Amino acid sequence: MKRHPALVPLSDDHHHELVQARRLRAAADGEPHERLAAAVAYVEMFFTVTVEHFRREEEELFPVYLRQPGADAALVDRILREHMELHGLARAIRAEVAAEDVSPDTLRELGMLLHDHVRVEERELFEAIQRLVPDAELARIPSP
């Protein structure tokens, strides 16, 4: 389904997150320097882009969706829990980067959660948002 223009920037971010997820999972099986490079790239992206992405979803998009009859509050609760898990893993990776000892298990866990999280947002939540939220309300969501 084609994305509403208000959702396109968030979907673009999701594409970049999927690239990072694939890189994290691949690096988990690599050498220590490969794990460190993937972790550094993710930490930089998370704290410069992803935190703002989460804020926009949580403060601007989810409230509009949840006001609609038929909105799936349990799905939004899941997404919010995953945001918190991703924050925790990003902080753990940042600590591992500082110690220059990045765990393959942490990279793998982060890569899998990130991949699954983005897929649920794109395939379930964003589809529901486009189905339930009137275009005029979506159009009022501020652009980044």
**17 to 70, 85, 111, 124: CA distances (angstroms):** 28, 15, 9, 17
CA distance 41 to 128: 32
CA distance 23 to 27: 6
Contact of 114 with 28, CB cutoff 8 Å: no
pLDDT by position in tens, the chain (length 144) = 689 999 999 999 999 999 999 999 999 999 999 999 999 999 999 999 999 999 999 999 999 999 999 999 999 999 999 999 999 999 999 999 999 999 999 999 999 999 999 999 999 999 999 999 999 999 999 887
For each of the domains in the chain, give its residue range(s) and CATH number, in order of start: 8-137 (1.20.120.520)
Per-residue pLDDT, 26: 97
Q: HEC states along the chain?
A: CCCCCCCHHHHHHHHHHHHHHHHHHHHHCCCHHHHHHHHHHHHHHHHHHHHHHHHHHHHHHHHHHHCCCCCCHHHHHHHHHHHHHHHHHHHHHHHHHHCCCCCHHHHHHHHHHHHHHHHHHHHHHHHHHHHHCCHHHHHCCCCC
Q: Is the pTM here over 0.85, yes or no? A: yes
